[in-house]
Amino acid sequence: MAEIHQVAVESLDYEGRGVARYEGKTIFIEGALPGERVTYSSYRKKPNFEMAQIGQIFKSSFMRVQPKCQHFGVCGGCSMQHQDARGQVAAKQRILEDNLWHIGKVKAETILPPMHGLIWGYRQRARLSVKHVIKKNKTIVGFHEKRSSYVADMTHCEILPPKIGYMLTDLVQLMDRLSIRDKLPQIEVACGDNVDALVLRILEPLSRQDEVELRAFADEFKVQFWTQTKGPETVQPFYPLDAPALTYTLPEFGIEMPFAPTEFTQVNHQLNRVMVHRAIRLLAPQAGERIADFFCGLGNFTLPIARSGAQVLGIEGSAALVKRAAQNAAHNGLSANTDFMAMNLFEMDEVALVRLGKFDRWLIDPPRDGAIELVKAITPETAPKRIVYVSCNPATLARDAGLLVQNHGYKLSEAGVMNMFPHTSHVESIALFVRED
């Protein structure tokens, strides 16, 4: 019989797990919160640490709350529903500051107030797995279980918009009626202002009866089905064909952004508006300036910057997104002061940066890998006076911040977190770097 040990939880790690110590080992405990005394059961043991699940709670944290979702603990979509939302944000703020100091050796002069939004029903984009379980003669639709390739058997989801989150049981019944239920591994969800799209990844053609079932479901639940047979280029609308275009808006800037269901957009549309507002305030673009938007995507920051009257160059690795960004600029009457180009920013060097010309300000919004090659390529001749860095990974932000401050003469003026993904351990943040000539 395994020994049961009681430990004091000291802090949270970057995955939202409680950190404790026992006989010189660090114990990472899922479901535990700082200040608690708990027992645990280990599922992975290494010489210096153990990964564990929480057992009995002897002393509970004041931040502990009852998870709203009945699938919490099994479904891998959320990891922090047991913690008060304010406590989640405070933990993410600490992770950001710890990373900046321990990795980048920098501290922000000003810590920005955290950006908050909806904490339930916020996730406008998601990828749901579909699995037909022969032994149960049942199809399952949901996220993967924690630490597992199995699909969680879910009846609803609290972080998806309610219309979609409470449609899962109906989707299961639909999948069970399809002839290709074992050849349909994924449903991608993309919610817009005027339509909700469901992209079916299909490995075999739909039968005529399948098409009848999908049309009836779309009519009843007011969704639009798309199909995808291979890569992203095969995504096409199925029914209804006269549905409104997928769009989201940035009302403060008078901008409407059309997008395709598999194109990258921020999952939390409400918080995206708050984030763009803050980014533009920090960047402070001026009419007539030349500004670069690196990793511009479909123009989420480019077009609001262009509203200032600045000339903006959006650069993105995906040619398809560059095309979409140019279309969105035209859609919003901003083609005259925007330009876009496709370029692999992970291969940036000093020569390539010089070719782009001098910019007054930069906005950088990279993926999790960060923008190390771009930052390394800066020279005194190409250095902008102000950089706003939007990050989805505090570790790579901290690494790049260290280079900007210690190698290129910037000061980290302001930094803060945004709770883009409530109830998860994802830490999204924004930072302002200023360079004095």
6, 29 Cβ separation under 8 angstroms = no
295 in a known ligand binding site: yes
pLDDT, position 370: 97
Q: How much is the average pLDDT of 220-229?
A: 97
DSSP letters for 177-228: HSTTGGG--EEEEEE-SS-EEEEEE-SSPPPHHHHHHHHHHHHHHT-EEEEE
Write out pLDDT tens, residues 99-151.
Answer: 999 999 999 999 999 999 999 999 999 999 999 998 888 899 999 999 899 99
Triad 326, 434, 354: Cα angle to 5° = 55
200, 228 Cβ separation under 8 angstroms = yes
Retrieve residue 16's tokens. 């939202």
Write out pLDDT tens, residues 163-218.
Answer: 999 999 999 999 999 999 999 999 999 999 999 999 999 999 999 999 999 999 99
296 in a known ligand binding site: no
332 in a known ligand binding site: no
Q: What predicted TM-score, i.e. pTM, was given to this entire model?
A: 0.94
191 in a known ligand binding site: no
pLDDT, position 136: 81
Cα–Cα distance measured from residue 59 to residue 61, given in angstroms and rounded to the nearest whole number: 7
What are the structural domains, with CATH classification, of the chain?
6-64 (2.40.50.140), 90-118+247-435 (3.40.50.150), 125-191+195-239 (2.40.50.1070)
Cα–Cα distance measured from residue 10 to residue 31, given in angstroms and rounded to the nearest whole number: 13
Query: How far from chain centre, in Å, is Cα 335?
Result: 28
Write out pLDDT tens, residues 321-343.
Answer: 999 999 999 999 999 999 999 99
Q: How much is the average pLDDT of 61-78?
A: 95
337 in a known ligand binding site: no
Q: In what helix (H) or strand (E) does residue 303 lie, and over which residues does it extend?
A: helix 302-306
pLDDT band at 2 (very low <50, low <70, confident <90, very high): low
316 in a known ligand binding site: yes
Query: How far from chain centre, in Å, is Cα 77?
Result: 12
Give the type of residue at 165: G
Q: How much is the average pLDDT of 221-229?
A: 97
End-to-end CA distance of the chain: 67
328 in a known ligand binding site: no
- Residues that are catalytic: 392
Query: How far from chain centre, in Å, is Cα 70?
Result: 23
